[in-house]
Structure 1
Amino acid sequence: MLDPFDRAGAVALPRPVRVLRLRIAGTRSVEPLGAFDREFRLDAGLTVLVADNLRGKTSVLELITWCLRGTPRAGLQGVVRSWLSTVECDALVAGRPLEFRLRLRGGTLVEGRVVSADTELVHATDETSYGERVAALMMELLHLEPLESQSSRSASGRNTYGWPSYFGAMYLPAGREPALLGDDVMGGMPGRLLQVFLDLPGAAVLTRLKAFRDSVVSAARAAAADAQRLRDLMARKRAEADRRLTDARAALAELDGKEPVALSTVVDDITRLSRAVVAAEAESRDALKTFDLIKRQRQHDEMRLADLREHDAARQLFYALDPAACPRCEAPVTDERRAAEKRHATCAVCARPLGARDHADDQEVEREAHYRLTASRDAEKLARDNADDHVRRAARLRDALADAERRLTDADGAARMAARSDLAREVARWEGSVAALDSTAIPGAPTHPTEQSVLDAAIDALEAGRNAASERLFDELDRRIADLARRFGFRDLERVQIDKQARLKVFKTGGPVENFSGQSPGERLRLRIAVVVALLQVGHGHGNASHPGFLMIDSPCAEEVQDADAAALLHALERLCAETPDLQILVTTADEGLVRRTLSEATVIAPPAPGAPLW
């Protein structure tokens, strides 16, 4: 039997991808206006697309991506999409010729097809379904498995990564991006891609086992949290049922403990109290009316006293009397005569002028008015106290009547039995609730699941075997990455160390250990290219090349400050393609002069005229 971790017994998984042709047709809405139809023939090795900025270089890479990946990237501009009517891409995928055909209208995909030897493998009429079907086809042809990682945001507790994530290891991100390999940094994706493309023994199986184990652990934690919430809920319901049962029992005991009251006695009390309440309320109303009359008299006396003190003429008339009518004929004294008496000193009764004043009489008149006010105030206080007494007595009698009516309800046998029946049902209801809650099985703390133990053991065994088999591969990978990066112009690089999670340590001459994220954009780009090419070279050396061997690099010279550095990178890529079989690299740049001076055997694709668009 073959050891699954023996490299000699491992079956290689070739995944070569090569683009042969790209055709772009449509109508441009900016200068130069009009229809266009451009075809690019692409060879193995290095191909450099040269054009001025914003003249179609990046769009070529993005359209190849749309065809092969199934979904376009954000880098494909909307205005460019609106020009397109037809995009065709011919490629070899794992040795099988495929023809990718896109038909667009107004920037929207209306038909997507993939054909192989007159057999239609994919047919879709919208962008979403085209992307899904292309992804499934490429995963099948390249013998790739979905990659999974644990996620608290997903309903299943896992995130699944497919062909678009793998494609990120072929269309390299710009130098400033954080991922060493691929586009995704979440879920440990760089390390997962590294292990798959290095073809580590058991990598795909181990990835699936770890994702499944993580989902089991997540499910166990969720079950524990659910069980605790259920226990808390049951405890709250049990406490509420106990409280309600205690209250119902107490109310029933209180009702049963009351002495029965004679119905005739209570009726007599209600009759007596009803009459007393009626009488008391009548007396209360009378007392309030009397108080109101005396109060108005007191207010009138106050006004008269004030008037006497302010108007001398009023003091002489009737010794502070204020007649309402003539004492002889009983003709009413009008308000106009009263006003004239004050203004002109004429009598309000007979309208004759008033005589000279006697100050002694004035004082006597004022004293009389004062005595009247004092008497009315005392009378008002007595009337108020009397009214308050009657109001309080009526209230006490009403309360006594209400109590007698309650006693009548208690004395009514039917009402008493109905109340007792209601309370008895309430007691039975809560006794049933308590019994039901006590009989409900409350989950305890979850134990360590057996399947998790089995998965842990399987993962440990796979990792132990894989570690022994992969140690030599990573030593070789470190050496090749460092050698390639130096060839690409990373001159002060001494060595690198990469682990299975694609974490790269960088050792520079005379400097401290640094991480990949701490490098400059140009250094990151060199290291990223070196990692992908090293994966391919190590795979070829062991007879199991797993990376597709197809790379697209957009404007690598933009990361450089000196032309010499950019030239060194391009020259190294050209030599690398000549030395490495099954390697195809597409590069874009705006510096045609630099390309022409540097490269000798690479294919250069340029616009038909200087400054013109590439297509």
Structure 2
Amino acid sequence: MTATPTNADDWVGTIATKAKVPPEEVQAVLDRHGILPQAALPRRRQLRLAYIALAGRKQGTDDDRDIDFRWPQGDGEMGAGLWAFLSDRNSRGKSSLLNLIQAALRGEFPGIVKPDVWGWLSLVEVAFRIDATPYRVRVEKEVGEVDPRMARGTLSRGEGDARIDLYAGSADKPFEKAVADNMMEEFGFGSFHAFNKAYGPRTHGWNAIATSFFVHGPGSAVFGNVTRDGVPLRLLQMFMGLPWITTYSAASTAFKKVCAEGEKASSADPARGRLAERLKATEQELDDLRARSGTRVDRPRLRLDLVTRDRETMPLRAAVALAEERVDTLDRQASAARGSVAELKRTLQQMRDEMAAGMVFRRLRPVCCPSCDNGIDAKRFNTAEGGGTCALCGEKHVEEDDEGPRIDDLQADVCEAEQVVARLNAELAAARRRLRESEAERDVNQARIGEIAAELASVEDPDTEFRVRALEAQAEQLREIIAEVAAPAATAVADDAAVLRQVEKVTRELFDDMQRDVLKEVSDEVAALSRRFGVQHVEGMDWSGNNTLAIRQGGADITFSDLSPGENLRVRIAAALAVVAVARRRRFGRYPGLLVLDSPRSQEMTDDDFAALMASVQEVINETGDAQVIVGAATKPALVGVVPGQQTLHAQGNRFLF
């Protein structure tokens, strides 16, 4: 019998009965851990990209020019159906447009947009509709500016003929949060709560959900790119529209957290002691195996770290170049200033020497002319002293007082020039410190890139890695069993654990039967669509409640991770459209119906296979009637005609999309 959602009061009452506590105590535990009942079947809301507009100027390319781009052109908007960004050659802007769309829907700039493209732009405007309500994300900045804090981001919603700004400010973290909060509220999505003993409680929100709309190739999960904390399963459950999922997620997280806190209490339970011994032996074997095999390479994390480091390389190099230019400029200015000081000091000393020489010569009393040796009357000196003229030449004496102001002015110039030198030396020292810091950051980043490349190049023993993973899972299971069988201590934590265990159990029972029914229907739909999309010899699929997609292919039983890259991609596309189709038939479900595919042909597909895949996608879209799929791909003859011409943006020959 399929379980039907109950109201909140019935839910609390059932938990109280099974936990053997009053309903008031159950409600207190729920309030203490922030667990809210969400029993209603959700209403699906549609997400549609309307248009994308760009402005700016290309720089440092073979095609430097102003950017003035809008698609669709004029006042048109994109609707349901298959849309395509095509080009005859690679590197013509397809991925950049799709990445800008992703950045706008997440409010995360520049996100995965290439640094050079981000630098070209002065305006990014992406409009979309949630059902009939229009929204617009707009980012404005100076051409060449790369810091999102220096850009202005605006999130606005249309209200009739007017537009209301929901956020206006810097285009960094506050902007990202404003977009995420608005999206979560509009779609009625709840955050996924998780607890891991190594990392503690964590929450996954809009960014984790939004990754499921963008498929850049094969992935380790059917939905989205976040694989930890059971996020792919939570996404599937949410997109299927099951009630109580958010409540169950919060209850499960709270229960794990409370159990982890209660593990510290000692217990004399014999069963727990035996389990503890098994756990100790398992952990010892795991340590020995790790010691023999070396550190296991976490390749997905390393690749993500490598992408992040590569993205940071150009800004770090630019910072070093800017610091070097600043040091060179200040060095030249300081050298010129020091030369000016030296010249002023030489002039000052020369003037002082000339004044001193004048004083000496004026006090001389020659007895004869130095030119003709004729005698000089001593009375002329007395007369000259009184009149201020020279007894020999008759010229007016230059008094010392006349030179004093000039020397004072020159001394003041020397002091001022020395102050300028001191200031420039200080700025030069600070600039050199900044240069050393920038070079250190660049070198650390480059060294880490080298380390990551070396780690990725290392060879691992798959059997050893499989054994390590198995032992890790066994140890984790033993820890959970020990937490469950531990005798509860007389503490609030232990009391909460008893109630939360029943909250988790009762809540799961409310959607378990419905989940099995919906998963069966989704599994059949994914299998059918996968066959239509070119996955050969698929006999059936079974999506279990623990997020394992079992596949029967060519008489063999495999899982999603065993598929080839091309099959993996086809199944990911099929899963998204299958959820839309099942939701349409059942009249509930929450997948917004937007799917963006970036260069899917690169995954082991011939031109004919790719064209057939797109043709099949077009057929499925026509059947569902309300999905929007946007694909970026290289143009091939077999593809022409698959996508309607008015829904295709095509860069022919050597042209660029923008």
Q: Match of 1:568, SS?
A: helix
**1:101 maps to what in 2?**
138
Quote how far apart the aligned CAs of 1:107 are.
2.4
Which residue does 1:113 correspond to in 2?
Answer: 154
Q: Which deviates the most, 592-601 or 37-46?
A: 592-601
- From 65, 68, 76, give the equivalent of 1:34: 65
CA drift of 1:73 comes to: 7.1
Contact 1:5–1:201 (Cα < 8 Å) also in 2: no
CA distance in 2, matches of 1:192, 1:73: 28
Match of 2:259 among 210, 214, 217: 217
- 1:223/1:24 CA distance change after superposition, 3 Å: farther
User: Are the structure 2 counterparts of residues 101 and 600 from structure 1 closer, same or farther at C-alpha, using a change threshold of 3 Å?
Assistant: closer
Q: How big is each residue's C-alpha offset from its partner over 1:180-230, in whole Å with a ceiling of 9 and x where there is no partner?
A: 1111111011001000110112111111111111121122225669xxxxx
Q: Give the conservation status (yes or no) of the 8 Å contact 1:567–1:598.
A: yes
How far is the alpha carbon of 1:179 from its aligned partner?
A: 1.6
User: Residue in 1 aligned with 2:185?
Assistant: 140
Tell me the amino acid that sits aligned with residue 11 of structure 1.
Answer: L
Q: 1:576 is matched with which residue: 614, 617, 620?
A: 620
Which residue is equivalent to 2:476?
none
Considering only aligned residues, what root-mean-square deviation do their CA atoms show, in Å? 2.2
Residues 452 and 167 (structure 1), Cα distance of their counterparts in 2 relative to 1, 3 Å cut: same
Match of residue 206 from structure 2: 163
Amino acid in the other structure paired with 1:548: P
- Provide, for residues 86-135 of structure 1, a one-character-per-residue CA deviation record: whole Å limited to 9, x for no partner: 00111102432111111133123311101112211112214111111111
For residues 38-66 of structure 1, the C-alpha deviation after alignment (integer angstroms, 9 at most, x for no partner) is: 10122321001102211100111111111
* Partner in structure 2 of residue 429 of structure 1: none
Which amino acid counterpart does residue 112 of structure 1 have in structure 2?
A: G
Spell out, residue by residue over 1:542-597, the C-alpha distance to the aligned partner (whole angstroms, 9 max, x if none): 11131010010101111133222111111011111111122000001012423215
Structure 1 partner of 2:122 = 85
Letter paired with 1:573: V
Question: Secondary structure of 2:220's partner?
Answer: coil
1:325-378 deviation digits (Å, cap 9, x = unpaired): xxxxxxxxxxxxxxxxxxxxxxxxxxxxxxxxxxxxxxxxxxxxxxxxxxxxxx
**Cα 1:127–1:567 shift into 2, 3 Å:** same
Deviation sequence 1:499-532 (CA, Å, 0-9, x none): 233321111022x211111111110111111111
- Residue 474 (structure 1) aligned with residue 502 (structure 2): no
Cross-structure match for 2:240: 198
CA contact (8 A) 1:194 1:500 kept: no
Residues 1:513 and 1:601: Cα distance change in structure 2 (over 3 Å): farther
Distance of aligned partners of 1:550 and 1:445 in 2 relative to their CA distance in 1, 3 Å threshold: closer
Output one character per residue of 1:65-94: Cα deviation in whole Å (capped at 9) or x when no partner: 111111147531111111111001111024
Match 1:515 to one of 545, 549, 559: 559
| TM-score in terms of structure 1 length | 0.60
**1:319 counterpart residue number:** none
User: For the residues of structure 1 that align with 2:257 and 2:510, how far apart are their CA atoms?
Assistant: 24
Offset of residue 12 of structure 1 = 3.1
Partner of 1:316: none
Q: Which residue of 2 aligns with 1:457?
A: 502
Pairs within 5 Å for 1:103-502: 103-105=140-142, 106-109=145-148, 110-117=151-158, 118-154=163-199, 157-175=200-218, 177-222=219-264, 446=489, 449-502=494-547
Residue 151 of structure 1: CA displacement?
A: 2.4
| Aligned partners of 1:201 and 1:469 also within 8 Å | no
Equivalent-residue separation in structure 2 for 1:573 and 1:5 (angstroms): 38
Output the TM-score relative to the length of structure 2.
0.57
The aligned counterpart of 1:530 is 574
Q: Percent identity?
A: 25
1:47 aligns with 2:90: no
SS of residue matched to 2:83? strand
**Does the C-alpha gap of structure 1 residues 94 and 207 become closer, same or farther in structure 2, counting only changes over 3 Å?**
farther
SS at match of 2:541: strand
One-letter amino acid of the structure 1 residue matched with residue 41 of structure 2? V
CA contact (8 A) 2:42 2:590 kept: yes
Name the amino acid aligned to 1:591. T
Are the counterparts in 2 of residues 12 and 543 from structure 1 also a CA contact under 8 Å? Answer: no
* Mapped contact 2:42–2:243 kept (Cα < 8 A): no
C-alpha deviation, 1:11, in angstroms: 3.4
Of 93, 96, 104 in structure 2, the residue corresponding to residue 67 of structure 1 is 104
Q: Distance in 1 between matches of 2:607 and 2:544?
A: 33
- Structure 1 letter corresponding to 2:106: R
Q: Tell me which residue corresponds to 2:94.
A: 57
Aligned equivalents of 2:156, 2:605: Cα separation in 1: 44
Change (3 A) 1:593 1:202: same
Letter in 2 for 1:113: T
Structure 2 gaps of 5+ residues are 8-38, 73-77, 268-486
Cα gap change, 1:77/1:583 in structure 2, threshold over 3 Å: closer, same or farther?
same
Partner of 2:637: 593
Name the CA shift for 1:24/1:223 in 2 (closer, same or farther; >3 Å): farther
Distance change (3 Å), C-alpha of 1:115 and 1:445: closer
Question: Could you tell me how far apart the structure 2 residues matched to 1:119 and 1:451 are?
Answer: 45
Aligned to 2:308: none
Q: Secondary structure at the match of 2:68?
A: strand
Which one of 601, 614, 618 corresponds to residue 557 of structure 1? 601
Task: Give unpaired runs (5+ residues) of structure 1.
Answer: 226-443
Instruction: Give the 3-state SS of the residue equivalent to 1:449 in structure 2.
Output: helix
Deviation at residue 498 of structure 1 after TM alignment? 0.8
| Aligned positions, number | 389
1:197 maps to amino acid: F
Equivalent residue number for residue 18 of structure 2? none
CA distance in 1, matches of 2:638, 2:547: 33
Asked whether the 8 Å contact 2:84–2:643 carries over to 1, the reply is no
Structure 2: distance between partners of 1:216 and 1:10: 28
CA shift in 2, pair 1:86/1:222, >3 Å: farther
Instruction: Give the greater-gyration-radius structure (CA).
Output: 1
Do residues 20 (structure 1) and 50 (structure 2) align? yes
Query: Matched residues in 1 for 2:539 and 2:506: separation?
Result: 35
SS at 1:37 equivalent? strand
Distance in 1 separating the partners of 2:557 and 2:506? 32
Distance 1:186 1:34 in 2: 44
Q: Which secondary structure state, in structure 2, belongs to the residue aligned with residue 462 of structure 1?
A: helix
Question: How many Å separate the matches in 2 of 1:99 and 1:134?
Answer: 10
